Amino acid sequence: MSQIPAVKRATRKRRRAIVPIVLGCCPTEPRCVLCAPSEVPENETIAALVEHYRTERAGPSDRLSVGFFGGMAPTDEMLDSIEGLPFTARVRPDLLSRARASFLVERGATGIELDVGTFDDFALRWSGRPYTSGRVMEMASGLRDLGVRVGVLLTPGLPGTDFETGIRDATTATAQFDTARIQPTLVLVGSRLHHMYEGGRYTPLTVDNAVAMCREMMDILEAEGVEVIRVGAQPGPDGMGRLAAGPYHSSLRELVESQRAQDALRSLIGELDGDTTSILIRCASGDETRARGPANANVRVFRVEFGLAQITVQSDPDFERGQWAVEKKA
């Protein structure tokens, strides 16, 4: 049996229902290289969205909470609009003071994420982000002292970065952060990056490049106990703007997980003794699709590599996510 390194998660008796409130990236000029102009929702809109989730989206046993996602920290009026619900806030490091962080915790914040992008100081300056990696690590330590979960948003593929930058970013994040989001850089219409792309001064990652980079970053983060809570972003639903270019995929994480599954299963199949033309793969029910791969790609690869005539994938209730077993079939 094999298991992909993963964060052990306690079984939850109640599902979490998160109300997403998107606050945009840069509230004022000058905007960073990634940012496309966006509007901050009115307080009445936030209150209406919370009520919609409470009455229409969340079940009777769900735990309702709010997620503020953007560059700015939520205002006092925004916090009043969520009626005392617990919340998390994603904030750019340069837009969060120590006093404001303490206030957010007093108002019910259970987690604060720093929209860092990268820990490479050259790339940060190039991207128009007015902070340094050293400052970010100091902030993360201070947030940890406040007793909240501390998260980081990493954005591989920024101008001035490469594959090795992404590896260093993931390694650096393991020192101070509890959670991570990995969102490969997307080119949004109206952003400075869009103008660079149109002028031939920026080349975005391909989907294959993004999958390979996210895979390596996830392996580093999860091996050190950092929970990767999301991979990839959807420009429309995430309220970011319209996509012009970049490694967009509606299920980027599933592409990454399918690749991880393929590598784990390849190792187990290679360990089987003697000739065989038929195998059984056992896994958790949630991993069946990952075992088969997108459009059964993993199954086709194994058939060619190992000369297999039949591959059966079967869920096992005793298996946790990321656990695999491969057996010969008579």
pLDDT band at 24 (very low <50, low <70, confident <90, very high): confident
The pLDDT tens digits of the residues spanning 280-308 come to 999 999 999 999 999 999 999 999 999 99
Q: What is the mean pLDDT of residues 118-128?
A: 95
In whole angstroms, give the CA distance from residue 30 to residue 260.
40
In whole angstroms, give the CA distance from residue 191 to residue 291.
38
For the chain, the average pLDDT equals 90
The pLDDT tens digits of the residues spanning 142-190 come to 999 999 999 999 999 999 999 999 999 999 999 999 999 999 999 999 9
pLDDT band at 133 (very low <50, low <70, confident <90, very high): very high
**In Å, how far are 37, 158, 199, 235, 294 from 32, measured between CA atoms?**
11, 11, 18, 17, 35
Tokens of 132: 């340094």
Domain spans, the chain: 2-249, 256-328
The per-residue pLDDT for 31 is 83
* 264 class by beta-carbon count within 10 Å (0-12 exposed, 13-18 middle, 19+ buried): buried
Q: What is the mean pLDDT of residues 126-144?
A: 95
In whole angstroms, give the CA distance from residue 100 to residue 81.
18
Are the CB atoms for 91 and 113 separated by under 8 Å? yes
The per-residue pLDDT for 12 is 38
Residue 193 has pLDDT above 80, yes or no: yes
What is residue 108's three-state secondary structure?
coil
Q: Does domain 256-328 have CATH number 3.40.1260.20?
A: yes
Instruction: Output b/e per residue, 126-158; b: 16+ Cβ within 10 A.
Output: ebebebebeebbebbeebeeeebbbbbbbbbbb
Cα 279 to chain centroid distance, Å, stands at 34
- Beta strands at 87-91 and 323-328: parallel, antiparallel or unpaired: unpaired
Residue linked to tokens 């998660």: 9
Residue linked to tokens 């994040």: 173
Tokens of 269: 């199949």
More confident residue, 317 or 242: 317
Considering only CA atoms, which of 118, 321, 94 is closest in space to residue 227? 321
The pLDDT tens digits of the residues spanning 234-281 come to 665 455 678 899 999 989 999 999 999 999 999 999 999 878 889 999
User: What's the fold here for domain 2-249?
Assistant: TIM Barrel (3.20.20)
**Which amino acid, residue 39?**
E
> One fold for both 2-249 and 256-328?
no
Give the torsion sign (CA, 206, 228, 259, 240): negative
In whole angstroms, give the CA distance from residue 126 to residue 155.
14
Q: What is Dmax (Cα atoms) for the chain?
A: 68
Considering only CA atoms, which of 329, 281, 277 is closest in space to residue 307? 277
pLDDT band at 29 (very low <50, low <70, confident <90, very high): confident
Are the CB atoms for 183 and 166 separated by under 8 Å? no
